[in-house]
Amino acid sequence: MSNKNFQIGLTTIQDLPKIDLHRHLEGSLRLQTLYEIALEYNLGLPVKNLDQLRPYVQVTDDPAHHEAFLRKFEVLRHFYRSPETIYRLAYEAVADAAADNIKYLELRFSPQALSRVRGFSLGDVTDWVTTAVQQASHDYDIDVGLIITLVRHDPISQAREVADVAFDRFGKGIVGLDLAGNEVKFPSTPFTPLFKEAKEVGMGITIHAGEWASAYGVREAIEELYADRIGHGIRAIENSRILRLVRERQVALEVCLTSNLQTGVVHSLAHHPLSDMLDLGIKATLNTDDPAVSNVTLTDEYEIALQTLQVSYPLLRQMVLNAAQAAFLPEEERGTLIARFEQWLPPAFSDNGHTPFP
């Protein structure tokens, strides 16, 4: 999708050091690897090649609607066949992020999604993912934190089990807690006690809200679920009071442009409210959401911001620094991350300028 040679000064978008705070492991699986797993385990999908597999696990000519988007994950959950496949998928997800020059990644996943079909324990799948991610982080020189995702349409009893797994491993690779799923049909309030506990133990909290449902979900996420960041959150633009709340609390929005188009949140990228949010002083960040499902990279998302939305380079740089400031890290490590990106990303480009990219 991307023209990775698109020039900014003396460099390209591909060369820019990046941060991705909102990326789902389950939406980051290599198509080639999925094809190999489908053949090895005889998953019953009527596919003889990669192109036949693609529409089952990737957005192609699907309607722009969140339910069509979510159906991909109903298929994807059948690929977590063994500890080895889960390890491989997690390792490759980090390797692919590093290949896009992402220097800091927060990768979120649902242990229940990885364990459901084969009956693996929640703790085991979490440990397999953590081990794979830590090894890939070392091999590819990328810093990675893991976020555990609770799902709105799962029973609250299961969410408690998943949250306990996250609490037990907080500080051992796990940095935060998330709530995802169909926000139109399933409210977030039953999960409030779990996020209160997460806040008390010091975990970072991000809540999917203001994506498919109204701006009021954003207020609920901040005031009742203790959100430090909002996954998507772009419908906050519909309510000035809620937008003011986001700005006053300095809550970061994890914006995912292509995903918003594919799920029908916006009808065209040219009308995405990102530019308006930046103009209003909202702490927006740019992310991929589900890069394999959407067939995008973070380079693609930066390119859309620069070319389609006409976001200036200084504002793009500010979004990267917003992400560094919103990272779920201890204060000292977060300060180091901010300083690294302030050094790597010059305030402005000139044809004679030096770009100190790693």
Q: Are 109 and 149 spatial neighbours (Cβ–Cβ below 8 Å)?
A: yes
User: Average pLDDT for residues 277-283, to the nearest whole number?
Assistant: 95
Q: What is the pLDDT of residue 88?
A: 98
User: Average pLDDT for residues 182-195, to the nearest whole number?
Assistant: 86
User: Average pLDDT for residues 77-105, to the nearest whole number?
Assistant: 97
Confidence bin at 358 (pLDDT 50/70/90): low
Largest CA distance in the chain: 60
pLDDT at 351 over 70: no
CATH class of 16-342: alpha beta
Mean pLDDT estimate for the chain: 92
Q: Are 28 and 308 spatial neighbours (Cβ–Cβ below 8 Å)?
A: no
Domain range summary for the chain, segments of one domain joined by + = 16-342
User: Average pLDDT for residues 97-101, to the nearest whole number?
Assistant: 98
Does the pTM of the predicted model rise above 0.75?
Answer: yes
Q: What is the pLDDT of residue 2?
A: 56
pLDDT at 182 over 80: no
pLDDT at 241 over 60: yes
More confident residue, 73 or 279: 279
More confident residue, 23 or 43: 23
DSSP string, 224-278: HS--SEEEE-GGGGG-HHHHHHHHHTTPEEEE-HHHHHHTTSSS-GGG-THHHHH
Q: Are 198 and 177 spatial neighbours (Cβ–Cβ below 8 Å)?
A: yes
Q: Indicate which residues carry an active-site annotation.
A: 211
Alpha-carbon torsion, ordered 191, 226, 326, 87, to 10 deg: -20
Q: What is the pLDDT of residue 6?
A: 64
Q: What is the pLDDT of residue 1?
A: 54
DSSP E strands in the chain: the ranges are 7-8, 11-12, 18-24, 102-109, 143-151, 174-180, 204-209, 229-232, 252-255, 284-286
Confidence bin at 187 (pLDDT 50/70/90): confident
pLDDT at 89 over 60: yes
Q: Which two tokens stand for residue 87?
A: 């390890």
Helix (H) or strand (E) holding 76: helix 66-76
Work out the burial of residue 100: count CB atoms within 10 Å of its CB; fewer than 13 is exposed, 13-18 middle, 19 or more buried: buried
pLDDT at 238 over 70: yes
User: Average pLDDT for residues 230-250, to the nearest whole number?
Assistant: 95
